[in-house]
Amino acid sequence: MSPSYSHAAISGMLITEINNSRKFRAFAELTLLIDENDYIPDISIYPWRKVDYLQGDIIKMAELPLLAVEILSPTQKPIELFEKAQNIYLPSGIRSVWIVQPLAHTVSVLTKEGIRLHHAGRLEDNTGLSVDLGIIFEDND
């Protein structure tokens, strides 16, 4: 899968918005180790932490994020991302999964309780993360 222009733009806007709050830390394409398999969400979100670059690096993250974000690219089918969320991410203990569909200006928030769709306004989920979708989709200009 090759990320597209829109995919990259939304990823950048979302990571910037999250990291600027300094409540949560967003990591792009971090390799997660889940049941001995590697998975790479577009964005993994953890509680804010300072990165100590002098301590060495982590190649595969065993600590799971609070939230995983997948951004739909033109070469993907939405069902692929929904199945990954429901069959891998949520059962492993990730509390929330966002599936961003750029063309539809929609974020589907998946939790163990179900799915909620968001198109505009402020998205708040069960992790405490809150973002303005107008900023992410650049609707506020």
Residue 52: predicted pLDDT: 87
Domain that holds residue 48: 5-136
Structure tokens at 110: 């998946």
Domain count along the chain:
1
CA neighbor of 35 nearest in space, from 91, 75, 76: 91
Residue of 102, 137, 103 lying closest to 120 (CA atoms): 137
Do the domain assignments include residue 61? yes
Cα–Cα distance for residue pair 3/75, rounded to 1 Å: 9
pLDDT at 138: 85
- Predicted confidence at residue 140, as pLDDT, reads 67
CATH for 22? 3.90.1570.10
Q: Give the pLDDT score at 1.
A: 58
pLDDT values of the chain reduced to their tens digit, one per residue, 141 residues: 577 899 999 999 999 999 999 999 999 999 999 999 999 999 999 999 888 889 889 999 999 999 999 999 988 999 999 999 999 999 999 999 999 999 999 999 999 999 999 999 999 999 999 999 999 998 765
Residue 141 maps to a domain: no
- Report which of 110, 103, 99 is spatially closest to residue 14, judged by C-alpha positions: 99
State residue 102's pLDDT score: 93
Beta-bridge partner residues of 96: 67
Q: Does residue 125 contact residue 111 with C-beta atoms inside 8 Å?
A: yes
